[in-house]
């Protein structure tokens, strides 16, 4: 098992991978349509997108958490 300290990084790795895969596929489908070699083109477009998305998630996620902490009210103690 991996250390729980790695959870934010692994979450970012998985989330950025899935999201960049979906978004790059939708963008390619809308731009080029379904064509011969679509899957190979999609993967070729996705890999550089993933390389950008993963570090972006690692930088943006902590800022998003801090922003949410200021927007969302903490539950009241009972």
Per the prediction, the chain carries an average pLDDT of 92
Q: How far apart are CA 5 and CA 48, in angstroms?
A: 27
For 13-39, how does the pLDDT look when each residue is reduced to its tens digit (9 = 90+)?
Answer: 999 999 999 999 999 999 999 999 999
pTM of the model: 0.77
Q: Percent helix, strand, coil in the chain (nearest 5)?
A: 80, 0, 20
Give yes or no for a contact between 42 and 28, defined as CB atoms under 8 angstroms apart: yes
Res. 42 pLDDT band, cuts 50 70 90? very high
The residue assigned the tokens 């899957």 is 39
- Our CA angle for 14, 16, 20, nearest 5°, is 125
For the beta carbon of residue 27, count every other beta carbon within 10 angstroms: 13
**So what's the pLDDT on residue 78?**
74
**So what's the pLDDT on residue 18?**
96
């Amino acid at each position: 098992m991996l250390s729980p300290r790695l959870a934010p990084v692994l979450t970012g790795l998985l989330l950025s991978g899935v999201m960049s895969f979906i978004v790059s596929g939708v963008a390619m489908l809308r731009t080029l349509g379904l064509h011969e070699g679509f899957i190979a083109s999609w993967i070729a477009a996705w890999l550089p997108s993933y390389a950008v998305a993963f570090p972006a998630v690692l930088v943006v996620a902590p800022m998003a958490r801090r922003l949410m902490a200021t927007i969302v009210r903490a539950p009241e103690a009972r």
